[in-house]
Amino acid sequence: MSAPGAAPAFQPDAPFLAQQQKNKDTWAGQDKQIDAKLAALEKKFGKKPNIVYILADDVGWGELGWQGGGKHRGTPTPELDKMAFEGMRFWAAYAEPSCTPSRIAINTGRHPVRTGLLSVLWPGQTEGLSPEEVTVAEVLSEAGYHTAMWGKWHLGELPEQAPENQGYDYAYYGLFNGAPDMWPDSAALFDQPTSLKGPFYDFPGVEKYKEMTGIDLSVAGYVGEKGKGRKPIEGLAGTLGGKRQAAFEEESARQIIDYVKEKGKSDKPFFIYWATYTQQITGVDAFKDAPHVDRANAQASMMMQHNAHIRRLLDTLQEEGIAENTLVVWWSDNGPMYAFWPTAGYSWLNGAKGDVLEGGVRVPAMAWWPGMIEPNQDPTDMVHLVDLYTTAARLGGAMKNIPGDRVTDGIDQTALLLMGEGNSRRNYMFHYSGGQIGAVRYEDFKIHIKPGGHGGLPNMDFYNVRRDPGEKRGEFYPGLFAVTPLQNHLRAHMMMIGKFPHRVSGTMPKGAEITPHD
C-alpha cells in the first residue's frame, strides 16, 4: 500500500499483469541477477548508465544490410550493420504504423490512442502532445539525468507541446515531417518553363500559402532550453527547402558529439533522444555518388550520411571511455512510404507506412552496449517501441517516476538486453490504426480484425507470423483455436481502458479529423 501522498505504482496493461503473475518466480530470480550486474556497472562508473535512443524514419524491415538490404538494394548501411553485429539485432521489433504515433510511443511508453493524439500532424495544426503526459525525459530528469533531443519532434508546434517543456534540458528540433521541405521547391519548379515538376505541384509558395491560410512556414525548427524558451534555428538548417535536412542532420551530429564529450565527464548520466530525419525525401548531395548508392533514391544518400554520423557517435563513446556505460538503441518509426517512389524505403514484408500489416509496423532495430550486451545476437523475441520507455526507467533507477494513474504499455526489456534470446517479457501486442485496434498478436499468432462477421462467426484473417512474416497465407478457419485466447486478451485490454479512460483531445472535436487513422 502506498504511503499517504505517494504516487500510485506503475500500472501496466492487463495482459502483462497476467504474464507477470505466471512468471513471477523466474522473473524475480532474473531481476536479482540484473540488479547485481547494474550495481557493479554503477560502482565502476559512479553513475547510472547513459542512454541514447535513435529513432529513424520510414526504414522498412529488410532495408538494412544485416536484413538482406543495404548495398544489395542501393542503400548501403555498413556502419549500422557493424553496430548491429557488435550488439543485438532484433528480428521481431515493432513500432506504431506512422510517424507522430511512434514519437508518442517512444516518449510516453503508451499507445497513442491513450493520449488523445491520434493523427500525423501537419503544419499549422494546434494538436500536440498533452502537457499532462509524462515523457521519458521527465522520468529520467527527475532521476538526475541530463536530457537532450535532436531531430524531428513532430509532436506539436505550440510552446507547451515543445520538447524543452516536455522534460528535455536542451532540444534542437524540426517541427514537421519531411514532406513540407519539398513544398517551397515544388512551387519554384512549378513556375519554371520546364516539364520537370515537383511532387507538390499545386503548392503556391510560402508567402502565398500564408496569405491564403494564415499558416506561417517561415520557421521550420527551434533551439529550446528548459526554462529559457526557444528561438528559431537560423540559416539553411532552419529554413524549409530541399537542402534543409542534410544541413540539419550535419549540425545535429556535430552537437551530439560535443554533448557526449561534455556530459560524459559529468557526475550525472545523460539521455539523448535523436529523432533523425533519415530517411526522408530530400537526399544529400555529398553522398549521391557514393559507392553502391542508388542515385535515383534520395533516401539512399541520406542513409549514407547517417551511417557516417553513427560511426562518429560510436567512436566517440569508445574514445571517451564511456561505451561500456552507454546503451545505444536504433529503431525505425514505421515501415516505408512508397508515395514518392523511387525515393523510398523498402520492406520485404506485406504493407507499408500506415498499415497494421507487418510491413507497416515490423521494423529494423538493434541495441549496442559493449561489455553489457553480448555481441552477435539475433533474438526473435517480440519487442515494441513503447518498451524503450520503461526499459530506460528501469536502467535509470526511475521506475518510481512513472505515473500510476494511467496505463503504461511499455514493458521493461532489460532481461532481454542483458540475458539474451528468450527473455523478452512481451508475448502480445495490440496494433492500433488511429483509434481502432486493427490487429492483435499473441505469441506467434496474429489476427487482423475486419468489420462485420456473419452468423456469429468473427471476421478475421489469421496468420502464424513466424512461419509467414509476409502475411501471404491468411485464412480464417485454421485460426479458430486462437479466437478465445485472443478474445481474452482483448477483453482484459478493454476492461483496463474502462478503468483508465483515454485522454480526449482538447483541440480536435470528434468528427473534425481528416486523418483520424493515420
Domains of the chain: residue spans and CATH:
14-176+227-427 (3.40.720.10), 182-219 (no CATH), 432-499 (3.30.1120)
| Cβ pair 320, 366 in contact under 8 A | no
**CA 29/CA 150 separation, integer angstroms:** 38
Q: What is the pLDDT of residue 1?
A: 32
| Cβ pair 336, 344 in contact under 8 A | yes
The CA-atom distances, in angstroms, between 503 and each of 13, 14, 411, 447, 480 are 16, 18, 21, 27, 34
Q: What is the pLDDT of residue 479?
A: 84
Q: Does 448 qualify as catalytic in the annotation? A: no
Burial category of 45 from C-beta neighbours within 10 Å (exposed 0-12, middle 13-18, buried 19 and up): middle
- pLDDT above 80 for 7: no
- Per-residue confidence band for 190, with pLDDT thresholds at 50, 70 and 90: low
| Three-state secondary-structure class, residue 366 | strand
Better pLDDT: 182 or 41: 41
**CA 214/CA 204 separation, integer angstroms:** 13
Nearest alpha carbon to residue 243 among 298, 191, 310: 298
Q: What is the pLDDT of residue 478?
A: 85
- pLDDT above 50 for 30: yes
Q: Does 99 qualify as catalytic in the annotation? A: yes
* pLDDT digit string, tens, across residues 148-164: 999 999 999 999 999 99
- Per-residue confidence band for 507, with pLDDT thresholds at 50, 70 and 90: low
**CA 505/CA 340 separation, integer angstroms:** 31
**CA 351/CA 328 separation, integer angstroms:** 28
Mean pLDDT of the region 440-465: 84
- Per-residue confidence band for 3, with pLDDT thresholds at 50, 70 and 90: very low
Q: What is the pLDDT of residue 514?
A: 58
Least confident of 239-243, 401-405, 483-487: 483-487
| Cβ pair 342, 296 in contact under 8 A | yes
Nearest alpha carbon to residue 62 among 385, 351, 441, 474: 351
| Three-state secondary-structure class, residue 382 | strand
| Cβ pair 1, 394 in contact under 8 A | no
Nearest alpha carbon to residue 154 among 171, 170, 136: 171
- Per-residue confidence band for 118, with pLDDT thresholds at 50, 70 and 90: confident
Least confident of 159-173, 299-313, 399-413, 449-463: 449-463
The reported pTM is: 0.95
Q: What is the DSSP letter of 377?
A: B
- What does R_g of the chain's alpha carbons equal in angstroms? 22
- Per-residue confidence band for 512, with pLDDT thresholds at 50, 70 and 90: low
Q: What is the pLDDT of residue 6?
A: 45
- Listed in sequence order, the residues at least 6 apart from 263 whose beta carbon sits closer than 8 Å to its beta carbon are 50, 146, 270
Q: Cell triple for residue 493?
A: 485490454
**CA 242/CA 261 separation, integer angstroms:** 31
- pLDDT above 90 for 513: no
**CA 319/CA 73 separation, integer angstroms:** 33
Strand ranges of the sheet holding 445-449, from the earlier edge strand across to the other edge: 428-433, 436-442, 445-449, 460-464
Q: What is the pLDDT of residue 482?
A: 85
Q: What is the pLDDT of residue 509?
A: 62
Better pLDDT: 143 or 204: 143
- Per-residue confidence band for 384, with pLDDT thresholds at 50, 70 and 90: very high
| Cβ pair 173, 221 in contact under 8 A | yes
Nearest alpha carbon to residue 181 among 158, 200, 197, 195: 200
Query: According to the per-residue pLDDT averaged within each range, which of 39-53, 444-458, 482-496 is highest?
Result: 39-53
Catalytic residue among 99, 111, 146, 448: 99
- Per-residue confidence band for 2, with pLDDT thresholds at 50, 70 and 90: very low
- pLDDT above 50 for 518: no
pLDDT > 70 fraction of the chain, expressed in percent and rounded? 93
* pLDDT digit string, tens, across residues 44-81: 999 999 999 999 999 999 999 999 999 999 999 999 99
Catalytic residue among 111, 154, 309, 431: 154
| Cβ pair 366, 61 in contact under 8 A | no
Q: What is the pLDDT of residue 281?
A: 81
Mean pLDDT of the chain: 92
| Three-state secondary-structure class, residue 94 | strand
- Listed in sequence order, the residues at least 6 apart from 291 whose beta carbon sits closer than 8 Å to its beta carbon are 71, 76
Neighbours of 31 (CB within 10 A): 14
| Residue type, position 400, single letter | K
Q: What is the pLDDT of residue 197?
A: 61
Least confident of 108-122, 213-227, 320-334, 473-487: 473-487
- Per-residue confidence band for 460, with pLDDT thresholds at 50, 70 and 90: confident
- pLDDT above 80 for 449: yes
- pLDDT above 80 for 506: no
